[in-house]
Amino acid sequence: MRRVALVLIALLAACAPAPPPPPAKAVADPVTEPWYAPVTAELVALNREAESLLRAGKADDAAATITRGQALAARLLTAPSPTLQAMEAASDNEDQYAGMLLGNKNLGWARLSYQKNLSRWKNWRPQSDETARRIKQAQAGIAECDRRIGQ
């Protein structure tokens, strides 16, 4: 009798609903963190530096600067809704990287980078003249990659 009672208790306990999950901790939006604005400004400065190095004919130094900026861009884009300034800085860095890849004849990788920017700006809301310009810029980069691939 005692065993039957234990088996019945065990069966009833197995049918009980699972305990509720512990309350989830609220994840802070990176945009509101104190590091976000300075990192955005740093990426903007790196993009300017890379552009000036490219104009001066220092491609290797520009490449190193662009590569340093990629880590910052990735960090900024962890936000569910990045700021427009952060998105523009990340986009500029990606465009410079694509141009560098295009110059090195890494056409597939360059095309992928241009496609990232195209997707980025097609999905940005609200659309503006600036987003339209950036979409056209990315489409032109893709077209140039396709033209060179076809040669």
Q: Please provide the size of the chain in residues.
A: 151
pLDDT tens-digit readout, 25-81: 777 889 999 999 999 999 999 999 999 999 999 999 999 999 999 999 999 999 999
Among 119, 100, 112, smallest CA distance to 51 is for 100
Domain count, the chain: 1
pLDDT tens-digit readout, 114-125: 999 999 999 999
How confident is the model at residue 17, as a pLDDT?
73
64, part of any domain: yes
pTM of the predicted model, to two decimals? 0.81
105: left (phi over 0), alpha (psi -120 to 50) or beta: left
Residue 92 sits in a domain whose CATH number is 1.25.40
Q: For residue 23, name the pLDDT band (cuts at 50, 70, 90).
A: confident
22, part of any domain: no
Q: For residue 12, name the pLDDT band (cuts at 50, 70, 90).
A: low
61, part of any domain: yes
What distance separates the 2 farthest-apart alpha carbons in the chain? Answer: 92
112, part of any domain: yes
In terms of residue numbers, what domain contains 50? 31-149
96, part of any domain: yes
129, part of any domain: yes
